[in-house]
Amino acid sequence: MAYGTEQETLKIFVERAERVLRTRLVQQVLSRQLSCRMDWKEGQGMTIDYPDCHEDDRDAFVLSLRLFIQNNDKISIYNIAKIIEDLPFSDAIKAPFHEQRSELNRYLDATPFFRAGAEPKNYRELLNTIIYGDLSHFDPKLRPMLQRWMADPFVWPHMQTQFLMVCQTIVLCLTVFRTVAQMALDELANPSATA
């Protein structure tokens, strides 16, 4: 059987994942332990120390990240999962991809450790609000929530830190997805090796 289109899609996925992993944001920010620290000193008030990054680095990262999280792109994690599931790959390919994707979805659906009232309800909403409410779109449903967060000098550093933590988690998962996609390409190139 010929799987040319799927094979090409997997190759592009691997290439783009490697590109994301080489971005300055990944190398300089997401490769470190992230935290948000608050200090209060009498007479000086409160200071908040949180990870920050150059906006060009963040924007370049988000531009590439969108390829993996928007299902309308052929190399989205969702669409790559369909390729992995639909083609006759070994369990050595299917199981780790499925498990990692399930873990990522569980994480994205979890309640954030810091919320402003009832917002955001989960990490997925946090990610989408920052990306689609400001960085790549001005979604009128998400923008007001983002503006509330940004207007509060106590809330915004925590949201930014959590956003970077979500990106860090996605990058860790993307590393696994890239490895499994490369294994799938190898299996397609040499199907007799897995028979």
Encode pLDDT of 58-114 as tens digits. Answer: 899 999 999 999 999 999 999 999 999 999 999 999 999 999 999 999 999 999 999
Q: Domains in the chain: how many in total?
A: 1
**pTM for this model (two decimals):** 0.87
Helix (H, G, I), strand (E, B) or coil at 80: helix
- Joined together, the tokens standing for residue 86 give 């639909």
- 102-153 pLDDT, tens digit per residue, is 999 999 999 999 999 999 999 999 999 999 999 988 999 999 999 999 999 8
Region of residue 45 (left: phi > 0; alpha: psi -120 to 50; beta: else): left
Q: Which domain holds residue 51?
A: 4-193
Q: Find where tokens 């873990």 sit.
A: 103
79 with 71: CB under 8 angstroms? yes
- Joined together, the tokens standing for residue 114 give 């810091």
Euclidean distance between CA atoms 173 and 117, whole angstroms:
29
